[in-house]
Structure 1
Amino acid sequence: MAAHVRRLDLTELPGAASVIDAFAEDLGGIDVLVNCAQRAARQMVDAAHGGRIITITSVHEHVPRVGAAPYCAAKAGAGALTQVLALELAEHGITVNSVAPGEISTPMTGQTDADPREQERPGIPLGRTGHAAEVAAAVAFLARPAAGYITGASLVVDGGLMLMGAQAGTAYPAHDWRSP
């Protein structure tokens, strides 16, 4: 297995997108893309052998959070883009899905090098945060041939967090949740 690295600054479009073409040339094509890049989709269509596009969104693609309007709007937009691309690329044998993680022990959540098994979360049915490897496993599943009939879906990886919607509404003893 080889790793190929290129600089890609999406503020420098359309020129920056040529990096995708260079990757396709170096790798002999593109079969799986994690996230959405229009140029990679074009490479897959031109190659005419299908492919997979998988976007990492968030549970906030589906549910809001106080104080996180821009984040939630971006994730919901990525979810809608996933569905539109699933419709547009299906005729080319390209599936497009998203993976929507809940709280994952990563630097983004302030849990650098934290062991999810030690991150107690009583409000999550599995009682802990998730591990990045659990998100990666969902991505790997969607990239496999076995997932070839799944498109336009959002695979939620949240330990059951979203199931708590109605339950969480009665779990707060005060209004302090209203402030981020």
Structure 2
Amino acid sequence: MSRVALVTGGTRGIGQAISVTLKAAGYKVAANYAGNEAAAAAFTRETGIRSYKWDVGDHEACARGIAAVEADLGPVDILVNNAGITRDAMLHKMTPQQWREVMSVDLDSMFNMCQPVVNGMRERGFGRIINISSINGQKGQMGQTNYSAAKAGVIGFTRALAQEVAKKGVTVNAIAPGYIDTEMVSAVPPKVLESIIATIPVGRLGTADEIAHCVVFLADDKAGFITGATLTANGAQYITG
């Protein structure tokens, strides 16, 4: 029987590539989304992957959404916490709402999504939790104190949970993408984008497919000795020890 994978923010951008690549690898995939119903409907028509709407910043909504996925497809074996937003501003101009929105979606979602599935994974003796962090959670980024703090928190959460569930056959890892060629990055003014690419030693943006293949690698049954790790995929723009 195919394992079930749930991808948050799974109908667009990097999440869409993750969902499609997991399906191609033989998993039964469910894709969560927050609000763009037209995009989600088009995604489901084109890929055959079921999409489910809920707010990952809402604990009760996550519990209900996960229950719906499991009723349709079976217990979640692979959870990919990909959903994330930005609300960029310099700290002296940042509003409490901008701070809270990013923390809710990018960091609170770690608890909201993992807590309802982790007991089942422990009981079954298998699970893969893969959390999407960011290069800016590793090095920080001006104008992104909220986002950088949340994505750094994702890495800390990953390391702690990995230790809690390691003996139960559950791995917990993070991926920290650099600048990826998504709609959001493509919307950056050309001169700014050129300056960003100039700082990437490989000389280009990453692709969503490249991040998706990192996910498939970590999700594999044979990746059981890799846990608590952060896989950087940034073209050598930021090298960690």
Fold conserved between structures, TM > 0.5: yes
SS for the counterpart of 2:139 is: coil
Matched, 1:73 2:73: no
Identity %: 39
Shift of the alpha carbon at 1:3?
2.4
DSSP-derived class of the 1:98 partner = strand
2:116 equivalent among 39, 44, 58: 39
After superposition, give the CA deviation of every residue in 1:102-157 in whole Å (9 maximum; x if it has no partner): 00011222349xxxxx9982221101111110111111110112311000001000
Residue identity in the other structure for 1:123: T
Letter of the 2:54 partner, please give it. L
Q: 1:27 to 1:87 in 2, by over 3 A?
A: same
Aligned equivalent of 2:70: 24
Matched residues in 1 for 2:174 and 2:186: separation?
24
- 1:96 alignment counterpart: 172
Secondary structure of 1:61's aligned partner: helix
Structure 1, unaligned runs of 5 or more: 113-117, 165-180
Paired with 2:202 and 2:153, the residues of 1 have a C-alpha distance of 28
Is the 1:52–1:96 contact (alpha carbons within 8 Å) kept by the matching residues of 2? yes
Return the alpha-carbon distance in structure 2 between the equivalents of residues 31 and 154 of structure 1.
Answer: 20
User: Take 2:79 and 2:234, find their aligned partners in 1: how far apart are those partners?
Assistant: 22
1:136 aligns with 2:182: no
> What amino acid is the match of 1:142?
L
Unaligned runs of 5+ in 2: 1-27, 29-47, 82-109, 189-193
Does the 8 Å CA contact 1:53/1:96 hold for their aligned counterparts?
yes
Give the TM-score of the pair, scaled to structure 1: 0.78
SS of equivalent to 2:239 = helix
Amino acid in structure 2 at the alignment position of 1:41: V
Work out the CA distance in 1 between the residues paired with 2:119 and 2:64. 12
Q: Which residue of 2 aligns with 1:3?
A: 49
Compute the displacement of 1:11 (Å): 4.7
Asked whether the 8 Å contact 1:10–1:16 carries over to 2, the reply is: yes
Matches within 5 A, 1:154-173: 154-163=230-239
Question: What is the distance in 2 between the residues matched to 1:157 and 1:15?
Answer: 31
* Count of residue correspondences: 158
* AA partner of residue 140 (structure 1): V
What secondary structure does 1:100 align onto? strand
